[in-house]
Structure 1
Amino acid sequence: MIVLKFICSITLALLLTVSSVRAAPKESLITSLPGFDGTLPSEHYAGYVTIDGIPGKKNLFYYFIASERNPSKDPVVLWLNGGPGCSSFDGFVYEHGPFKFHVGKPKGSLPLLHLNPFSWSKVIGNLSFQLQLSKFLSNPFYISGESYAGIYVPTLASEVVKGIQIGETPLINFKGYMIGNGITDEKFDGNALVPFAFGMGLISSDIYEACQTICVYDPQSETCQKNIKKFGQAVSGLNFYDILEPCYGNSETKNESENTNMPLGVHRTGVNKKPLPKRARMFGRASPFWTTRDAGASSPGSHGEPDDEAAVGWLNDEAVRKAIHAAPASVAGPWWICAPRVNYSRGNESMIPYHKNLTSWGYRVLIYSGDHDMAVPFPGTQAWTRSMGYKIIDEWRPWMIDDQVAGYLQGYDNNFTFLTIKGAGHMVAQTKPREALEFYSHWLDGKPI
């Protein structure tokens, strides 16, 4: 497979308006990477594409990794991280990219890299702008992402399909998309949080029953707000992105009587007709937290890894930036895993109509969830996928690796599949890399999972 990483992923709806490429493929070829001692396992390209049609033009940075298996035939997959405003290099360095950082590097030195045995590039290539790498134009093309990419992916896929239907060139061999722990619908996502917490044994039956009854009928009442506060106090010390992992950076708030980091779903318990006000922008990997985070800082409980020091150190090293054909920090600014300088606004529309339209046109869709993520809990995703109303053709069952249950799956007609990964958090490929490569490669190859 081939995976393309974008620094500023939220502008990808401009995919079909690319007018020029600043560097030819040969000039974009990466020959070596500081911190990695060895031969790259496949061809890597990086550079900028220029987007017309917006004031002043914009340059988007891309990173392309050719498949290590059969680059001329394997699917090409665009990967997007969430935020909005979070870099897709997050997935590259911490999830499914070809490298991993060495643990325990000497302080102050350049982080060192080693090969990732579960890199998705073993079976795909990562790309988007096929104008630049035309030799991959005939490869099957998929769009993928996680978290707030639950918004990007179906909307971008719809734009790609529109281009195909009106005969835009170059013709993209688009086949489908996949989304992991993706934000989709405010009602389904928000209403899943309290049942998820109760099912995981994180709150008492009294808190659960109070939130599910009182708050449904009167979400603004004092009694409801008191129970929401109790809920927040009960879960405040947890890593919302993976309840099995430690919650880094939350020591100063986890024991406070009033938790200001309650996820949005806490304020959406029950089927509320009048939701409480919510923030228009969220930082920290689609974080539903109410408090604003400084650029580059880790949200309490937001990361499976203790911090982003390695990625920040590596991607802000000028030798690394030169090697990957990125502008120096003096021109493009420093790299942060999530950038508040990206302006983004969103309405309250549901993505479910997009999924219905795309599946009705015959495109393949895989919706997957790490089952220990509390930021976008899997019961909400399971509920909205079921609400599509499609006939079940592969009834709920475990999927296995080496005779062990790796998760559960339910397949619907119209090439629509919902899948869970046992023990995984919000970043599935980071917490369960082997399992992620397994279902990902099987699905893309059209094999049973």
Structure 2
Amino acid sequence: MKNRGNLVLGVLLYFLVFLGLSCHATQGDVLWRLMWEKATAEPKIGGSKLSVTSERRFLLSEVVKPQAGLKEKDKIDMLPGQPRKVNFNQYGGYVTVDEKIGRALYYYFVEAEGPKDTLPLVLWLNGGPGCSSVGYGAMAEVGPFRVSSDGKTLYQNQYAWNKVANVLFLDSPVGAGFSYTNSSSDEQVNGDERTANDAYVFLVNWLERFPEYKNREFYIAGESYGGHYVPQLAHTIIQHNKEAKQPINLKGIAIGNPMVHEEDDGALGGHFFEFMWSRGFVSEKTIDSIRKGCDFSQPPFRRTKACFRSMYEVIAPLEFVFMDNIYAPLCDHHLTAKPMYTSLDSFDPCNDIYVTAYMNRPEVQNALHANVTKINYPWEECRSLNWTDGAFSVLPLFTEFLENEIRVLVYSGDIDAKIPMTFTQTSLKRLNLSEATPWYAWDSNSEIGGFSVVYEGGLTYATVKGAGHEVPSYQPKRAFVLIKSFLDGVPLPRLHIKEYSDPEV
């Protein structure tokens, strides 16, 4: 009966995850498949309740290698199809993180448009696991350019984060984007622990290549499964800073729609159905049946026949819904001969097609200094990677950050069904933090940008109105307000609302 139940649930999940993976996997699709594997694996992947699976340490002298001349070699003259007037430098190349095996991570770096010598350094990490930070983060979210509908030309992103910071995009772990390994078996042992260690080795070597950033204020940002990557890398930095002669000047982390606590994020858990009900996708009768017939509290989940029937009623129609943003239209065209008129204020659901076409152009790969002979497959925004270890929760790391005066920003696009804001809010409650500034509406161009609450110690949570799983893709202007306020160390601007006064009785 248990196997039959898992089979039925697997069929249900097919509509949401595996159908998408067979065609084009989004960051949210890959994350959901990992959550499903965690929920059904025996023994359970990531069953440890430790925030990081181990505390493997190494001497910097063992991992930091000479970087002389490599910065100049990595400089990008210009990207094919980019706008003419560009007033910042771009770089792209590899940092080897394991010389013995030949494991190398690819990066794309854009200096700030403003005073690059004083503005902070921000490292951006996309999730998956297996999604490209260059393809998603740089080309579809916070980078200086977006790809036009012809898949050949670029246009400027007026809300690019390099207007307020120097931004570094890292394809991590190996197997994501242009990152590669010389050993095919090496790619089969990816996991949280190695990803954090490799990212740290990358970073200290990259800072040798770009020494002018060694003392700069440093922030790590990301989204989705970056909810693991970002805190775990920050934790690794803190541990090594205790012994480093020149500590990395880590000031804060920012994570959007993040996976942070396994019990709250489980695929097809109760929070998902409650969220879809709150958005009008589920009837009162069906949600009542799910509440009575399904127990999502602990695996193995109690699911009756009525539960499966009710879940199917919810899930089957979602084949026709873009779950990363439940109100977004579906893509209805492919590449165009000439670029269509594009506005950043209007999300294009075919954007992934444009980015994939652009990144697979040989002239683009040459300009980026991508070693495509090493990856042996067409470039993809996301590749589904074998994942060998994963933390049960990263929440304990938040406590460590606040104790070390490292600020934390957690934000949620409020129409994402992959990691709904209800998941994240439930997770943050587990920290039992006191509110310093209660829930309030924040201002984005004289309208509600979302809502925010600031907790004692330096943790801010914010929702972003009208945003999906990749917040800057859907609401770039609001995401820019979000990151600028965070880097400036100030709360999100408060929307001016008339104060309440008691009515005369």
Give TM-score scaled by structure 2 length.
0.70
Q: Within 5 Å, which residues of 2 pair with 1:222-371?
A: 222-248=305-331, 305-306=349-350, 308-329=352-373, 333-340=377-384, 342-347=385-390, 349-371=392-414
**Alignment CA distance shift 1:235-1:315 (3 Å):** closer
Q: Within 5 Å, which residues of 2 pair with 1:74-89?
A: 74-89=119-134
Identity of aligned residues (%): 30
Structure 1 letter corresponding to 2:329: P
Partner of 1:397: 440
Alpha-carbon offset, residue 330 of structure 1: 6.7
Matches of 1:161 and 1:121, distance apart in 2: 25
2:190 is aligned with 1:113: no
Matches of 1:424 and 1:26, distance apart in 2: 38
Partner of 1:384: 427
Matches of 1:343 and 1:304, distance apart in 2: 31
CA contact (8 A) 1:42 1:68 kept: yes
**Alignment CA distance shift 1:348-1:401 (3 Å):** closer
Alpha-carbon offset, residue 114 of structure 1: 1.6
SS at match of 1:175: strand
SS at match of 2:303: coil
CA contact (8 A) 2:112 2:163 kept: yes
CA-to-aligned-CA distance 1:98-143 (integer Å, 9 cap, x gap): 011223x2xxxx6101211111111011134322111011111011
Partner of 1:274: none
CA contact (8 A) 1:23 1:47 kept: no
Alpha-carbon offset, residue 22 of structure 1: 8.3
Alpha-carbon offset, residue 305 of structure 1: 2.5
Partner of 2:78: 32
Alpha-carbon offset, residue 31 of structure 1: 1.5
CA-based RMSD of the aligned residues comes to 2.3
SS at match of 1:130: helix
SS at match of 2:489: coil
CA-to-aligned-CA distance 1:181-227 (integer Å, 9 cap, x gap): 01111222244211111111110111112212321286232222222
Structure 2 letter corresponding to 1:411: V
CA contact (8 A) 1:92 1:98 kept: yes
Structure 2 letter corresponding to 1:80: L
2:248 is aligned with 1:172: yes
Matches of 2:97 and 2:271, distance apart in 1: 39
2:185 is aligned with 1:185: no
CA-to-aligned-CA distance 1:75-98 (integer Å, 9 cap, x gap): 111101111111111111111110
CA-to-aligned-CA distance 1:264-302 (integer Å, 9 cap, x gap): xxxxxxxxxxxxxxxxxxxxxxxxxxxxxxxxxxxxxxx
Alpha-carbon offset, residue 360 of structure 1: 2.3
Structure 2 letter corresponding to 1:213: K
**Alignment CA distance shift 1:201-1:22 (3 Å):** farther
CA contact (8 A) 1:19 1:52 kept: no
SS at match of 2:165: coil
2:196 is aligned with 1:153: no
Matches of 2:216 and 2:113, distance apart in 1: 14
**Alignment CA distance shift 1:67-1:37 (3 Å):** closer
**Alignment CA distance shift 1:333-1:171 (3 Å):** farther
Q: Which of the numbers 76, 91, 98 marks the counterpart of 1:45? A: 91
**Alignment CA distance shift 1:145-1:23 (3 Å):** farther
Matches of 2:390 and 2:76, distance apart in 1: 39
**Alignment CA distance shift 1:415-1:331 (3 Å):** closer
SS at match of 1:84: coil
Partner of 2:191: none
Matches of 2:158 and 2:424, distance apart in 1: 29
CA contact (8 A) 2:329 2:349 kept: no
CA-to-aligned-CA distance 1:387-434 (integer Å, 9 cap, x gap): 211110110000012321110001001100100000111110000000
CA contact (8 A) 1:183 1:376 kept: yes
The runs of at least 4 aligned residues of structure 1 exceeding 3 Å deviation read 13-23, 328-333
SS at match of 2:233: helix
**Alignment CA distance shift 1:317-1:373 (3 Å):** same
Q: Which of the numbers 398, 414, 423 marks the counterpart of 2:457? A: 414
CA contact (8 A) 2:330 2:349 kept: no
In structure 1, the gaps of 5 or more residues are 1-12, 250-302
Deviates more, 1:110-119 or 1:231-240: 231-240
Partner of 2:143: 97
Which of the pair has the greater relative contact order for Cα pairs under 8 Å at 6+ separation? 2
Matches of 1:117 and 1:130, distance apart in 2: 28
